[in-house]
Amino acid sequence: MKNLYNSKEAPKKDDLALRVYTSRLLGQEPDLVLHGGGNTSVKTTVKDFFGNFVEVLCVKGSGWDLATIEKPGFPAVRMDTLLKLAELDTLSDSDMVEQQRLGLLDPAAPNPSIEAIVHAVIPAKFVDHTHADAILALTNNPNGKKHIKEVFGDSMIVVPYVMPGFVLAKAVQKAIAGKDLSKVDGLILMNHGIFTFDDDAKKSYDLMIKKVTLAEKYVAANLKANPIKKAKVTKNLLGLAALRKAVSNERGTACIARLSTSKAAGAFAATPKLATICKKGPVTPDHTIRTKRLPLYLADSCDATSATAKYAKEYTAYFDKHAKSETILDTAPRWAAWANHGIVSFGATLKEANIIADIAEHSVDTILKTEHAFGAWQALPAKDLFEIEYWELEQAKLNKGGSNKPTHQGKIALVTGAAAGIGFACAEQLALAGATVIGADLNPDIVETMAEIGGLGIVANLTDDKAITNVVETIINTYGGLDILVSNAGIFTAGAFLENLEQQNWDKSFAVNLTSHQKLLRETIPFLKLGIDGAIVLVGSRNVNAPGAGAASYSCAKAGLNQLCRVAALELAPQGVRCNIIHPDAVFDTKLWTAENLKRSAERYGLTVDEYKTRNLLKTEIKSANVGQMVSAMASPLFGKTTGAQIPVDGGNDRVI
């Protein structure tokens, strides 16, 4: 493990600034900590409100991540409060949280880490704690203590696994009692992680890197062959979409499904021991609140629905066996090991799916190496893992956001022609409603445009069959499924009466405004059938019901699109997939309409620009955002009982009405 400490960059005299600096060094190394894992602290002296000097522990606050932590992420807790708590024989979780908050100098600060008392009883000024993969490989096997002794000798104090928080604080206090800590480099917590400490921030950090490096070298030396080898994985996109649907249904909410076929994921999925390993447990109990105790094991040709149902049944039995007064969480898995295909991570949001994917990736790497180096992976017993998964303090971290969720949370939406105008507005509104959005457009700006709203942009010519296939496969490979299709790509080809209409004009309009939509439907329908509340919204035009002279190629193609919508609605209704079409008109806030174009058009009718924009029955301006809002609504449960409908967004057009 590389030591990243840079004396030129490190703060010189500010204790808390130094604490932030070395904490970030630890946090940016995923082999040490992942997504909020680990914690660090510094003991220092500060002035209280009355100007009195107070000894405090500045410890990582709940909800902060070491990789990005700043000074406000280290709430200052009075040391005398923490040390008095450490003297108690027992302390409930709720009392611990309450008393630690009462000890804060700033009542608005975040909750101190659940390990605050542990940090307090270790007398060193700087204390670092991580869940290093290599340390967990050493401890999570039948001969863990033996391997620790061989690696570290007497330089580390070994603490048997106990529940984190107050119980761990008492165990650490007992373990270091009477010890000359100047001759000790840190603590190894069985099945949990490692502590290093020193009165100097750099030395504490250096010790962490040194000890983890020793563990990494020891694991590598015990590997007869590298178990992380490139394995052949099989592509099964429809199977992935079916798995996502089964898990989403079990969880009761749409989920993103991230498929990994990395070297580690492929090797894990290819191991003959997969079914057995999947029943052993996680690399550290801290992961259980995100990943649950076990992944879903999915055989190569297994039915996803039945496998997920079996997992739910076994999870319920696990809960019933260990629960006292707790309420069962949802019974859906958080990640799956899919034989010969890879590993799949599920999240109700893209952020959650990415976090679980990172944890799963590190887990399979560590488990494989431990199996090969030390003969067997051995996690904690189910009882201990249950206590962490259902620990009220840990659950509180995940429940801070409340119960309300955005309309399209967890759903995956494809919007074509999304680089600008109505297409971008649709993509933006879906993203604001919680959807993971993919935009496809011929314009290269689509990549940057989608990135602005947290989406994925794909440059594609949607009249090309291969390009369409690539778009769809990219979506399923990346997110696991497709729920919403907004088929918007189009061009306006007006400008000639029928007798003067060039065939190229007609053919191009039909290729873009009709045939490309038909091709897109052909490729997406198999996945929309496996989507969550599948919905298609086609973007038509007022010209369908009120065509204009000289616009035959555009009007007829859009009329064909209207008919395509009706047929799709008839065909897909049995599978619960809705198909509706929207007919916007006079949307002038797009790149197609410059100030000069608007002025010229208004003058033709003897109107001002404002009058021209509101030339409808409601005398209201139609903006692209209005169209996007309607499309988002039509893809939502609000229109859950509607299919085959034509919805105008035109302020009321007398010719249409």
Indicate which residues carry an active-site annotation.
Answer: 554
Q: How many CA atoms lie within 13 A of 353 on its CB side?
A: 27
The answer to whether 370 touches 273, Cβ cutoff 8 Å, is no
Which residues are bridge partners to 426 per DSSP?
none
* Cα angle value 64/357/311 (rounded, 5°): 115
Best CA proximity match to 162, nearest among 192, 124, 117, 134: 192
Residue 238, amino acid: L
Enumerate residues 6+ apart whose C-beta is below 8 A from 55: 43, 44, 45, 78, 79, 80
H or E, element range at 583: strand 578-584
Say which residue the tokens 């035959």 belong to.
552
List the beta strands (DSSP E) in 30-139: 39-47, 53-59, 76-78, 126-130
Lateral strand order in the sheet of 578-584: 456-459, 436-441, 412-416, 484-487, 535-539, 578-584, 646-649
Q: How far apart are CA 350 and CA 340, in angstroms?
A: 25
Q: What is the DSSP letter of 327?
A: -
Cα distances from 639 to residues 112, 144, 506, 647, in angstroms, run: 45, 58, 34, 11
DSSP annotation of 572 = H
CA distance 282 to 280: 7
Taking Cα atoms as reference points, which of 348, 430, 349, 405 lies closest to residue 636?
430
Note the maximum CA span of the chain. Answer: 101
Vertex 328 angle, CA 322 and 331, to 5°: 105
Contacts 24+ apart (CB under 8 A), 611-617: 613/586, 613/588, 614/651, 615/586, 616/585, 616/586, 616/650, 616/651, 616/652, 616/653, 617/651, 617/652, 617/653, 617/654, 617/657
Rounded alpha-carbon distances, angstroms, from residue 512 to 255, 488, 495, 554, 647: 32, 10, 17, 10, 22
d(CA 519, CA 138): 54
Residues 6+ apart with CB under 8 A from 13: none
Give 544: exposed, middle or buried? Use CB within 10 Å, 0-12, 13-18, 19+: buried
Look at the alpha carbons of 259, 264, 267, 269 in this order and tell me if their dihedral is positive or negative: negative
**Cβ partners under 8 Å of residue 341, min gap 6:** 233, 234, 235, 236, 239, 240, 259, 261, 269, 298, 300
